[in-house]
Amino acid sequence: MFEKLKNIINGDEKSSAPKTKGPSSNGKKLKVGYIHLSGCTGDLMSLSENYDDFVDILHAVDIVYGQTLVDNWEMPEMDIVLIEGSVCLEDEHSVKELKEAREKSKLLVALGSCAATGGFTVYAKGGQQAQPQHSSFLALQHLVNVDMAIPGCPPSPEMIKKILLAAVNNDMDYLAPFMDFAKNEEACGCDLQKKIINQSICIGCGACAAACPTRAMTMKDGRPNFNCDRCVKCGLCYYQCTRSWWPMDEIKKELGLWEE
């Protein structure tokens, strides 16, 4: 993935799309697209809140596609595409647009928790024949290959700006965690409780509570306390947990706890 991103930025990525070199190689801007699927538009609002800083961003990128940003109905070839919202399986247009975006982009980024993990939409009832009005939603990674994910409900404007600039400046150290996020499916505080707290590997640092935007996760007597009624399934508590980064499979192998 590191090599792929480097090639995209330096203009060396081999693709059926026309070759586009990044600003780091010959001064040309990266072509960026934005697509809205099944989301609340909160991620777009966070992106637009970078208005005062767009001068820093737009000198390096060129927004070439976006239903609410650019007057362009035909999806062009893109270096990076930001996709907001989960995908509704009953919406043929959304499924088609997602697959087309994957074909026409070199780097596909899941913007926000709904796109990255499905958010609260994956907990919606769906797929029942008796009640076909209910829709089924999936995270983008279940239909296409996702290169990078930006968590949050919504992600902060600062995070979005820093990631775009990091991609332009080839800052792999900053981007590495977001590449790992692309395969993460933990979206609820209950995942943190099951995989970290109940496994007695929580160190009580409070990072999960500090990250929670709705105070669904708080600290009580040095331990995380989860209120499921407040949880919006953004997954930030799990992303911020230092123990969630432990290579548990490797640790189990070393301790002889791995079952073949």
From 139, 160, 181, the end of a domain falls on 181
User: Can you give the residue range of the structural domain that contains 233?
Assistant: 189-255
> How does pLDDT run across 110-121, given as a tens digit for each residue?
999 999 998 888
Confidence band, pLDDT 50/70/90 cuts, at residue 41: confident
Same domain? 140 vs 225:
no
In this prediction, residue 25 carries a pLDDT of: 45
In this prediction, residue 230 carries a pLDDT of: 92
Same domain? 138 vs 219:
no
Structure tokens at 140: 């983008």
Same domain? 44 vs 137:
yes
Query: What is the value of pTM for the model shown?
Result: 0.79
> How does pLDDT run across 13-40, given as a tens digit for each residue?
544 443 433 334 445 788 889 999 988 8
**For residue 68, pLDDT beyond 90:** no
User: For the chain, how many structural domains are there in total?
Assistant: 2
Range 159-165 average pLDDT: 84
From 141, 163, 181, the end of a domain falls on 181
**For residue 232, pLDDT beyond 60:** yes
More confident residue, 69 or 45: 45
> How does pLDDT run across 73-94, given as a tens digit for each residue?
899 999 999 999 999 888 899 9
Cross-sheet strand order for the sheet of 78-84: 61-66, 30-36, 78-84, 105-111, 148-150
> How does pLDDT run across 200-220, given as a tens digit for each residue?
889 999 999 999 999 999 999
Same domain? 109 vs 214:
no
Range 99-122 average pLDDT: 92
